[in-house]
Structure 1
Amino acid sequence: MDILKSYIKATNTHRFEEVKKVLHPNAKYFFGDKTCQTIEEIQAYFENAWDLVKNENYEAHGVEWLVKKEHSATCTYTYFYEGYVNGEYTSGRGRATNVFVKEGNDWLLIHEHLSGMPG
């Protein structure tokens, strides 16, 4: 679905105003180290990550759409990121679940859950 591509593209702008365009007002994120329950908390988390990992590139690999309905869709994928921390190249990956809902004509992200890879 195009909404996941739009979300990844917005994330890679490193401008939260772009990300916010695809977020539901009640979006909730489960990160490995924190739960963000408001747009302001999500924005702070994203901006902190962008400050820490310079020139970050974020990708979704192996996307599997578990549910595609008229007004909701859920996918899982392996996320991959790369960038520079303190001038040193770094990269990593983990697991992601995204839940999207359709509001009017727009698909919006209402939930994201990120976790590390098992074992």
Structure 2
Amino acid sequence: MNILDTYIKATNSHDFKEIEKILHPDAVYFFTDKTCKTVREIQDYFENAWNTVKDENYEAHDVNWIFKSEQSITCTYTYFYEGYVNNKYASGRGRATNVFVKKSNRWLLIHEHLSPLPS
């Protein structure tokens, strides 16, 4: 299992402790509506999303590893989510960029950027 698969599995656990295991302490997330610069801000954003979209399933499609070195790897992909908002099925897609760095011989997520698909 590669690090992106591990991250997707952690996201779908709906338990931030699982995400935090692979989150760099200096991680920065660019969401469509907010920038999160601390682990606490990232946790709050995830937990709010899980409370809003019940039983959410998150997937990465069309993954493209655009950079690989011994210390950093970067991928882009189309994200897909589905779940229930106000008891009604909802789903959506967008684009994502994830940057992982190696620290103490472990891959950690240091940056994620999510945005809508272009119109």
TM-score, normalising length from structure 1? 0.99
Separation in structure 1 between the aligned mates of residue 43 and residue 2 of structure 2, nearest angstrom: 22
- Secondary structure class of the residue paired with 1:61: strand
- Secondary structure class of the residue paired with 2:115: strand
For residues 74-113 of structure 1, the aligned pairs below 5 Å read: 74-113=74-113
Over the aligned positions, Cα root-mean-square deviation in angstroms equals 0.7
The aligned residue for residue 20 of structure 2 is 20
Separation in structure 1 between the aligned mates of residue 52 and residue 104 of structure 2, nearest angstrom: 36
Runs of 4+ deviating beyond 6 Å: none
Separation in structure 1 between the aligned mates of residue 56 and residue 82 of structure 2, nearest angstrom: 5
Cα shift at 1:36: 0.1
The one-letter code of the counterpart of 1:39 is V
Cα shift at 1:105: 1.6
The aligned residue for residue 65 of structure 2 is 65
Separation in structure 1 between the aligned mates of residue 73 and residue 117 of structure 2, nearest angstrom: 23
Taking only the aligned residue pairs, the percentage that are identical comes to 71
For residues 22-41 of structure 1, the aligned pairs below 5 Å read: 22-41=22-41
The one-letter code of the counterpart of 1:118 is P
Cα shift at 1:15: 0.3
